[in-house]
Amino acid sequence: MARKSQDGLAEPDDEVALDRLRSMKEEHQLSPWDVVRNYPALVWWAFFFAVSAVGWGFDAQVNGAVISVPEFRRKFGYIYEGEPTIPAAWLSAFNMISSVGQFVGGFLCSIIADRLGRRWGLAVGVVFSCGGIFGEIFSAVRPAFLISKLILGVGLGFYLTIGPLYCSEISPVVLRGITTAGVNLGIVVGQLLSNAAIRGFGGRNDSWAYRGPFAVQFFFIAFFAIGLPFSVESPWYLVHRNDLDGARHALQRLYGRNTNIEVKLKAIQTTVAEELALPESSWVECFQGTNLIRTGISTGVFICQHFTGIIFVISFSTYFFELAGLPTSDSFSLGVGVTACGLVGNILSWVVISSYGRRKIFLTGMISLTICLLLIGILDVVPTNAANWTQASFTVVYCFIYQITIGSVAFVLLGEVSSPRLRAKTTALATAVQSVFGIAMNIAVPYMVNPDAGNMRGKVGFVFGGLALWATVVSFFYIPELKGRTFDEIDTMFAKRITPRKMGRYMIDEDSS
């Protein structure tokens, strides 16, 4: 109960506490359907920014899928044992150069998003991406193609940073898991569109067999170019810039004219005021005190993704099917099937995450993916056509499990674990870690599977199965359960140094009383 002064009015500290309680209570009382029905503008703009992940997913998939196009291999490769083949060194370069650009783009996006806003962050990313796509389409030699992919990678670094950042900031707690998981849905949709484009163009006998899929990416450019001028800036950013009128206007646009947004604005102001009372945030702060744990979890979930072999199983799936001895047309179709099953899994993840939380789903996914990888490795030892098809089937199962579990939950945890004060920087660090491990895996995997190098084929499953097992053990101790928690509650638990694996059972209300 609030304290009263002699004139009967609540004292300022109590007013702040009451505002927080009101805002927290309002959020906890909402259901996902309430948000969709009553705040369509909020849902639309969360979707709009999440589409940035579609562009990232498209490029990530087309990197590996375009290798399965014979015309691409003839243009940028050489003839090895009668078949067009791209040298392992160049194959690694083609796939890792985009991650180098993403590493740079993630940090640039953090700076621009903090200084100019989330909308400008996305706009700059669109410009970089547009230039890179032009280069990919019209490059005639390997070096020019690599430079184009580097420029595109910078834009994709903006995409992958701004999507989860914006969605986590504008979403009510009941919708936060769905919208941040929606970023991963965007990635999967991009992968599906990429494989569909490869399936549609890949059989051509001219340069548009590979140029066509690259050109499809202009759809995303047009989508953002049309929508960005009308988009809503993040209220959190505007309050940070002390633009209260702008924040009030943004909240009104997100929640509608019939909603009293003053309580929400005051809650944001209070949280931001506490942050601004501290020294200006720095990159070093991400690695100090409890922020070190928060940064470790936010970035570690993406390391887990790479340790489960996501680059090998999904990005190189079509090429892997060809190397396993399946016909080219069947390999294209299976590549589409892999991403289609992933799309279904990601949509189902919205229900699963809302019902079962974060920790249980993440750990279940890690265990299941480890088993899948080991089975893929074992089946590669069996020299039969049936084993090849079974092995291919396990990649489809893998993709479904991945997207319904760690593929989606990683983005949810990134949006929840990172502190509001350091969220842009933490998101940039997560993008950087994603890029660094993407570079490492895109260098290593071609040397493992390419016919003129390691030629390990499905035996790579043993390598990633071992890495996934180790990551599962670490995840058990560090993955928290944050379902239904507001940012205030999450901050409180980390400030009190509650062990991450025990956060799901921690009672905030009892402690406060």
**Domain regions of the chain by residue span:** 14-512
Other Cβ atoms within 10 Å of 258 Cβ, number: 7
Return d(Cα 140, Cα 144) in angstroms, integer: 7
Tell which wins on pLDDT, 47 or 391.
47
Beta bridge partners of 85: 78
The answer to whether 498 touches 350, Cβ cutoff 8 Å, is no
- pLDDT number for residue 125: 93
What percent of the chain has pLDDT above 90? 20
- Separation CA 207–CA 75 (nearest Å): 8
Residue 368, pLDDT > 50, answer yes
Predicted pLDDT of residue 467: 94
Position of tokens 């067009």? 84
Q: Is residue 253 very low, low, confident or very high in pLDDT (cuts 50, 70, 90)? A: very high
* Band (513; pLDDT cuts 50, 70, 90): very low
| pLDDT at residue 354 tops 80 | no
Q: Tell me: domain 14-512, CATH 1.20.1250.20, correct?
A: yes
Q: Which residue stretches of 385-422 are H helix?
A: 385-404, 406-417
Tell me if residue 202 falls in helix, strand or coil.
coil
pLDDT, tens only, 154-181: 998 898 888 888 888 888 776 776 776 6
pTM of the model: 0.66
Number of other CB atoms surrounding residue 281 within 10 Å: 18
Residue 11 pLDDT > 60: no
Tokens of 394: 């396990």
Residue 478 or 347, more confident: 478
Mean pLDDT, the chain, whole residue set: 80
The residue among 338 and 475 whose pLDDT is bigger is: 475
Tell which phi-psi region holds residue 306, choosing left (phi > 0), alpha (psi between -120 and 50) or beta.
alpha
Task: Answer whether residue 453 shows pLDDT above 50.
Answer: yes
- Look at 6-20, 280-294, 499-513 and tell me which has the smallest mean pLDDT: 6-20
The two tokens of residue 205 are: 């006998």
Percent of the chain with pLDDT over 70: 83
Residue 8 predicted with pLDDT over 60: no
Query: What is the three-class DSSP state of 495?
Result: helix
- Asked whether the beta carbons of 67 and 119 are under 8 A apart, the reply is no
53 pLDDT band (50/70/90 cuts)? confident
Relative to beta strand 83-85, strand 78-80 is antiparallel
Determine the length of the chain. Answer: 513
Gap between the Cα atoms of 192 and 187, Å rounded? 9
